[in-house]
């Protein structure tokens, strides 16, 4: 037989487990939100392409995937290695302006003559 403190701990753990949302339901909700965020981000990148910030021939999905890798990498490095630093001056987050410039030099309009005005 288990000592009373062990039985009490098991009972508390069981109560916590019963209060937790069904894992499959929670996963479905997270997946639905992820799809919504991805669709919204795709619309933003399409708008950037339509407005000439990105070249007309840019594959929006490729650009969005690369931007996600860049920003998630910077943020995870900042949070892992220097979490107390301010965003603007953080060891990693302060590189975002340079990384954005690099991203736009790859996906932005190519330098060249101005298109004729209609």
The pLDDT tens digits for 100-110 are: 999 999 999 98
Asked whether residue 117 is assigned to any structural domain, the reply reads no
Asked whether residue 16 is assigned to any structural domain, the reply reads no
Give the model's pLDDT for residue 41. 93
Q: Which domain holds residue 53?
A: 21-107
Q: Is the pLDDT of residue 72 over 80?
A: yes
Asked whether residue 7 is assigned to any structural domain, the reply reads no
By CB atoms closer than 10 A (0-12, 13-18, 19+), residue 25 is exposed
Q: How confident is the model at residue 74 (pLDDT cuts 50, 70, 90)?
A: very high
Asked whether residue 13 is assigned to any structural domain, the reply reads no
Asked whether residue 68 is assigned to any structural domain, the reply reads yes
Q: How confident is the model at residue 80 (pLDDT cuts 50, 70, 90)?
A: very high
Asked whether residue 66 is assigned to any structural domain, the reply reads yes
Predicted TM-score (pTM) of this structure: 0.65
Distance CA 113, CA 100 (A): 23
Q: Is the pLDDT of residue 10 over 60?
A: yes
Give the model's pLDDT for residue 26. 66
Give the residue from 58, 50, 53, 61 showing the smallest Cα distance to 104. Answer: 53
Task: State the total domains in the chain.
Answer: 1
Q: What is the pLDDT of residues 28-63, one digit of tens each?
A: 777 777 777 888 999 999 999 999 999 999 999 999
Q: How many helices (H) and strands (E) does the chain have?
A: 4, 0
Asked whether residue 8 is assigned to any structural domain, the reply reads no
């Amino acid at each position: 037989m288990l000592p009373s403190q062990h039985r009490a701990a098991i009972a508390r753990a069981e109560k916590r487990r019963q209060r937790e949302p069904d894992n499959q339901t929670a996963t479905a909700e997270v997946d639905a939100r992820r799809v919504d965020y991805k669709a919204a981000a795709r619309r933003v990148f399409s708008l950037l392409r339509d407005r000439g910030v990105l070249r007309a021939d840019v594959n929006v999905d490729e650009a969005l995937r690369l931007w996600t890798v860049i920003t998630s990498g910077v943020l995870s490095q900042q949070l892992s290695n220097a979490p107390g630093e301010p965003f603007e001056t953080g060891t990693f987050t302060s590189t975002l302006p340079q990384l954005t410039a690099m991203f736009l030099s790859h996906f932005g309009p190519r330098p060249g003559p101005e298109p004729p005005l209609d």
